[in-house]
Amino acid sequence: MNNEISTKDLPHILSEFALKAMLYEVSCYPAPGLVSPISTGSHKDMNHFTFIDSSLAISRFFYEAVEVSLNEDNEEELFKKLRKIGVKSEEAMFHATRGINTQKGIIFLMLISLGAVTLTIKRGKTFDEIEKYIRCMTKDIIEEDFRDLDKKEKLTYGEKLYLKYGLKGIRGEVAKGLPIALKVGLMVYEEGKNLSENQRIVNTLIHIMTCCEDTTLLHRKPIEILYYVQNTAKEAISMGAMRTDEGRKFIDDMDKDFISKGISPGGSADLLAMTIFFHNVKSIVK
């Protein structure tokens, strides 16, 4: 085991990292258009407490994911098993939230990442190998999930966006090994250690928004909304984001603007949580 972490302790440690990351993400503010402790963002059906309930309900499946990953060495088989755990996680989430989808995206990302991190640790590999294992597990996901869409009677929003714009969304990101979280997000988060924790998290979120192919934005909205969010985030960064008074004022206004337009960059929020998760993983995997 990497860094002398025992098999017995690993499910506890990694599931705690996962829960912490989700709670940190939903606790930062201002988070433009997103739920925070002081705002429901662009949502009328959920609030900060809904996310706490949801996070606690699904956290036990993160423990299970690590246990399963410790006992499965084949990446493709592990991915299949993790997706089955994902189905149970979503059921628990919907039960806790009375049918509200708070964290479907993060369930998907976190289970895959827990699998990849567990493989990395039990094989005695370095942190940089995590990206490779994510890619190995999900290398066929685009082909398999988007196969024969022209023959399906009812398409999901993700499938419609893939056919119309070629957007691969969350699937495309995992197929590449989660580079936005592992490269962009981690770099910004770690460079922000001189900021307060809240400022550090918001600053990272804004940077992620600039490059995230966030298909959650396009729920009944045109593709231009995605470009608007990316360009607005770039403007915030040009003003210093959370490092300057001007940048902080701009992000406050950005939050009000996104709420008025009903914009909620949930995909960016998911990648923010993954960034925080990986940052914590680095404390045990070098």
Query: Considering only CA atoms, which of 50, 106, 61, 102 is closest in space to residue 84?
Result: 61
The class level of CATH for 9-283 reads mainly alpha
Domain boundary assignment for the chain: 9-283
Average pLDDT, rounded, for the chain = 95
Alpha-carbon distance of 57 to 197, in angstroms, equals 25
Note the Cα 92 to chain centre separation in Å. 18
Query: Considering only CA atoms, which of 259, 201, 265, 203 is closest in space to residue 229?
Result: 265
What is the average pLDDT across 201-224? 93
Please give the share of the chain, as a percent, with pLDDT higher than 70: 99
- Number of Cβ within 10 Å of residue 238's Cβ equals 11
pTM: 0.96
Task: Write down the pLDDT at residue 183.
Answer: 96
Contacts of 183 (CB under 8 A, 6+ apart): none
**Single-letter amino acid, residue 69:** S
What is the average pLDDT across 36-64? 97
Residue 1 clears pLDDT 60, i.e. is over it:
no
At residue 109 the predicted structure's pLDDT band, cuts being 50, 70 and 90, is: very high
Q: Which residue has the tokens 């192919």?
A: 213
Inter-residue contact 51 to 35 (CB < 8 Å): yes
Three-state secondary-structure class, residue 141: helix
Contacts of 231 (CB under 8 A, 6+ apart): none
Per-residue pLDDT reduced to its tens digit, 220-251: 789 999 999 999 999 999 999 999 999 999 99
Task: Write down the pLDDT at residue 75.
Answer: 96
Q: In sequence order, what are the beta bridge partners of 36?
A: 39
Residue 97 clears pLDDT 80, i.e. is over it:
yes
**Main-chain phi, psi angles of 278, to 5 degrees:** -65, -35
Alpha-carbon distance of 195 to 277, in angstroms, equals 18
Residue 4 clears pLDDT 80, i.e. is over it:
no
